[in-house]
Structure formats: C-alpha cells, structure tokens
Amino acid sequence: MAIKWDRLTVKSQEAVQAASGHAAENGNPEVLPLHLMAALLEDREGVVIPVLEKVGVPVEQLLSGVNAAIAKLPKVQGGGQPGMSAALQKVLEQGFKEAENFKDDYVSTEHLLLALSKAKNDPVQLALAALAGMIAAPMSSVSRPDGAAFGGVCCCVMLTSRLLLPRARARPRLLPVRRELSPRGREVTTCAVIAVTHARVN
C-alpha cells in the first residue's frame, strides 16, 4: 500500500520526519516504530503526551525506555538516509485504517498512537502493554462507531467531535478538543477519548 502523505496531518508528517531524523542521528539503517514513538513522545505541543498522561502512563519512563531500545539498534557507518522499515510501513497503514474506522479524512497523531499500540510484538506495543498492566483500570464495552468493542492494550483512542459513543455503557473520560492542521491548512478537530482496557496483546 502506497502511503498517501497528503492525508496525514501536519503533526503526523512532522512526526514521521522526526522519526527519520532519529534514525539518521543514531546511525540506524531503517526507520522503525520505535523512532516514531520517540518523535511523538518528544512533541510537547502535540496531543499524544496529554492523552498518555491522562490515563496514567509515565511518559518520561516510556520515552527513556524507547530511547534505550533505540540505542541498542544496529548501526551503520557512513550510510545514506535511512529507509522506512516494513514494521513502520505497517504502522502507517494501520493508522490509515484507524482513520477510516472513525470516518476521518486525515491521519492524525492519535491514529498513529493507536496504530503503534496494535503493532503485534513490536517493542513499542510491548512497552505500552507493560505500562497498561501497571495502570490497568478496565473500562468495559466502550464501542467504536461500528459497534465493535475496542481491544488491545492501553487504548488511547482518537475520535472526532462527531462521535458520541451511543453504545458505551461506561462514560468515557474526555480530553479538551484539540486541533491539528491538514496539509492544506484546514483545521482537523479532534477529541481524545480515553478508554483503558485490560492489558492484553491482540
């Protein structure tokens, strides 16, 4: 699947670019989900950090673990620009699927975060699963627009302000509405809905 870069919000594009920069700085031949997670966790003006903090994830601890994992990655000397790994390609593809599930036109950083949490057996997904186990506070039967229950690990879900979760038995906790810009400069209004599910790997 070819990545449609014009369907990523400006923040998402910046995160992918920052991830590539992380890989290059560390001499890694490929850009991995770890690099993308590091980029999201270092963006103090984005929505990812407030979302994670709202559900009790120790962001600094997570970032420290991600950076430690990056430091252990294979390095190359005098290499060119790192290429995108198959693992990161899958994460981006999943991000597009998450946007489609929520009927959103653009892939925001919340979609990328959710995609990272679903990257089976990836170090980022495993780290989120471990932290979710530490802060587990089950909120059952929170539904997506199609009525299916959210699954997986610490589920920090981005939803547009159009979504009211009519089938949810438990009242989700809402973060203030935040905005990201589309590549054309149009504001993309989002509202982060926090649902912490059982720490399990799909």
201 domain-assigned? no
Q: Is the pLDDT of residue 40 over 60?
A: yes
Q: How many folded domains does the chain comprise? A: 1
Q: What is the mean pLDDT of residues 74-102?
A: 92
Cα–Cα distance between 121 and 137 in angstroms, integer? Answer: 22
202 domain-assigned? no
CATH of the domain at 111: 1.10.1780.10
Please state the φ and ψ torsions of residue 63, each to the nearest 5 degrees: -65, -40
Which whole-number Å values give the CA distances from 162 to 8, 115, 182, in the listed order? 19, 21, 18
Asked if residue 150 lies in contact with residue 195, where contact means CB atoms within 8 angstroms, the answer is: yes
Phi-psi region of 55 (alpha: psi -120 to 50; beta: other; left: phi over 0): alpha
Q: Is the pLDDT of residue 54 over 90?
A: no
15 domain-assigned? yes
pLDDT of residue 57: 85
pLDDT of residue 185: 63
Nearest to 127 by CA among 199, 20, 56, 50: 199
Share of the chain above pLDDT 90, in %: 47
169 domain-assigned? yes
pLDDT of residue 170: 35
Q: What is the pLDDT of residues 124-170, one digit of tens each?
A: 988 887 776 554 433 333 333 343 333 333 333 333 222 222 233 33
Query: Range with the lowest mean pLDDT among 44-53, 111-120, 150-159?
Result: 150-159
Which of the given ranges, 51-55, 116-120, 193-197, has the highest pLDDT on average? 116-120
pLDDT of residue 167: 31
Nearest to 164 by CA among 135, 191, 200, 133: 191
Which whole-number Å values give the CA distances from 34 to 1, 2, 47, 49, 168, in the listed order? 21, 21, 18, 16, 32
Q: Is 198 exposed, middle or buried (0-12, 13-18, 19+ CB in 10 A)?
A: middle
pLDDT of residue 132: 64
Q: Is the pLDDT of residue 176 over 70?
A: no
Residue 176: give the domain boundaries. Answer: 5-195
- Number of DSSP helices (H) and strands (E) in the chain, helices first: 7, 6
Q: What is the mean pLDDT of residues 68-96?
A: 93
More confident of the two residues 130 and 32: 32
Q: What is the mean pLDDT of residues 173-179?
A: 45
Cα–Cα distance between 154 and 144 in angstroms, integer? Answer: 15
